[in-house]
Chain A
């Protein structure tokens, strides 16, 4: 169970990006976080594994308080959180297998990492996962030879290799074409239930969010203003989430609709 309470993030001395935010995610739920650009979705996700340092508040994952860990403890704790990125963040010049195994870097010895002699157990697990998402035959290919959808599958497998307790996905489909994007969303949904894994997805595409998630969280200006089942997200709520003052917000709604 991930329990976020009173989470605040302020960059420099400006207005806080996250304002005393509370959120609890558990079970094998797939939770989508929607909201216009600048609403703080990406900051929220990165505050969970402290890629962005929260200013105050608490992040608790299955009994571990993340905000007070020192660097070494944080490294160990981060293994328990998988993350998938908008631009995949793969290492282009390495093979798919190396990219996938890089999810295990927190576990294996430096020597094994250097010589690419990964533990048998990890290799078997990698093949299983790669087969599950349909990229096993690419193991020896370089990551930059793959298409966008395939690359994101590598990203997902890398995160799952950590055997995470929760999966964070930051706009995982924003760089993909609509068809591939749906495939990745349904893959994430299926994996959530197969692996009993809670998944939090930042997403721009509200239609996709409604179709694939168990729960939708709407953010605006650093606060959660909607938190319910996808079916409850009606036009009024949408307007409230997206009808920001800045022109950018309106453009966002147009793009989604």
Chain B
């Protein structure tokens, strides 16, 4: 009955031994080399610790004296986020139709996809810098940035949703001789509408977050207020701003989560 076998090894994840050890060695070399060549200047760090301490002791307690400035900055962020969401969604709908492989024709599909890929690839801060250089400091640059940011997200997911639609309805419309546009409006739009509303609410939330960041490079909103406070070493005011941003993000996340749950 007994085989007497008393050894067992877990079958390795990668069965080919050469490949396995090659991978292990390559990964370890990469990790060791990159960590070993990190330029850590410990004198600078200990100096930095003192500086960090100065920042933190300067930051406590947070200073809400200039709450007028704070509220203005925050409202500006909110306006940027709202306008960018509306603008972004307005542009995303046609783009999504262009980039949906089941609706669109090949050349237009490729154009739509490329626009989306480009919009997604650049971090909003980079886009913001370019826009600030092109159209000047202020909330307009911020709104343009977030329009691009919204397109990257909303148009992509909306295009994917369009690709999943029930094509029977489209065929039904075509069979009664409807034109291209009315087919879209009657057979496709109703199917993607709930998704669009959900995406819009989600995007408003992420635009509000992002608007706090793009302000740091001069694109208006509360980020600009924060960057100014940091630049003037008003660390207590900077902390107050950061706390407001964190609070606003938490509230907006909770609200958008709630609204999306109600809609879905």
Question: Which A residues have a C-beta under 8 Å from some C-beta of B?
Answer: 95, 97-98, 116, 118, 120-121, 123-124, 126-128, 131-132, 136, 139-140
Whole-angstrom CA separation of A139 from B6 in the bound complex: 13
CB–CB A118/B2 < 8 A: no
Instruction: Offer 13 A-B interface pairs, CB within 8 angstroms, sorted by A.
Output: A95-B10, A116-B9, A120-B6, A121-B6, A123-B5, A123-B7, A124-B2, A124-B5, A127-B2, A128-B2, A132-B1, A136-B3, A139-B8
Asked if residues A123 and B8 are in contact (CB atoms below 8 Å), the reply is yes
Interfacial chain A residues near B3, Cβ < 8 Å: 127-128, 131, 136
Asked whether any CB of chain A lies closer than 8 Å to the CB of B18, the reply is no
Centre residue among A116, A121, A127 by max chain B CB count within 10 A: A127
Set of chain A residues within 8 Å of B177, measured between Cβ atoms: none
The tally of residues in B whose CB lies under 8 Å from a CB in A reads 11
Q: List the B residue with the shortest CB-CB distance to A121.
A: B6
Closest Cβ–Cβ distance, residue A36 to chain B (whole Å): 39
Taking the closest CB of chain A, its distance from the CB of B20, in whole angstroms, is 16
What are the 4 tightest A-B residue pairs by CB atom distance, in nearest-first order?
A: A124-B6, A120-B6, A116-B10, A123-B8
- Please, which residues of chain B bring their CB within 8 A of the CB of A118? 8
Give the number of A-B contacts (CB < 8 Å).
34
Contact of B2 among A98, A116, A120, A131 (CB under 8 A): A131
Q: Chain A residues near B4 (CB, 8 Å)? A: 124
Q: In the bound complex, do residue A95 and residue B7 qualify as a contact, i.e. CB atoms below 8 Å apart?
A: no
- A120 adjacent to B7 (CB under 8 Å): yes
Q: Is B190's beta carbon under 8 Å from chain A? A: no
Q: Is B11 interfacial (CB-CB < 8 Å)?
A: yes
Query: How far is B252's CA from A159's CA once the two chains are assembled, in angstroms?
Result: 51
Interface residues of chain B, those whose CB is within 8 Å of chain A, are 1-11
- Min Cβ gap A99→B in Å is 12
Measured in the bound complex, the distance between the Cα atoms of B1 and A219 in whole Å is 39
* Residues of chain B within 8 A of A126, CB atoms compared: 8
Q: How far is the CA of A132 from the CA of B8 in the complex (A)?
A: 18
Assess the A140–B1 pair: CB atoms within 8 A.
no
Give 17 new A-B contacts, CB below 8 A, not counting A124-B4, A127-B6, A140-B11.
Answer: A95-B10, A97-B10, A116-B10, A118-B8, A120-B6, A123-B6, A123-B7, A123-B8, A124-B2, A124-B6, A126-B8, A127-B3, A127-B5, A128-B2, A131-B2, A131-B3, A136-B3
Give CA–CA (A196, B11) in the complex, Å.
35
Who on chain A is nearest to B8 by CB?
Answer: A123
Out of A97, A98, A131, name the residue touching B1 (CB < 8 Å).
A131
Distance in angstroms between the alpha carbons of A132 and B5 in the assembled complex: 14
Chain B residues near A97 (CB-CB < 8 A)? 8, 10
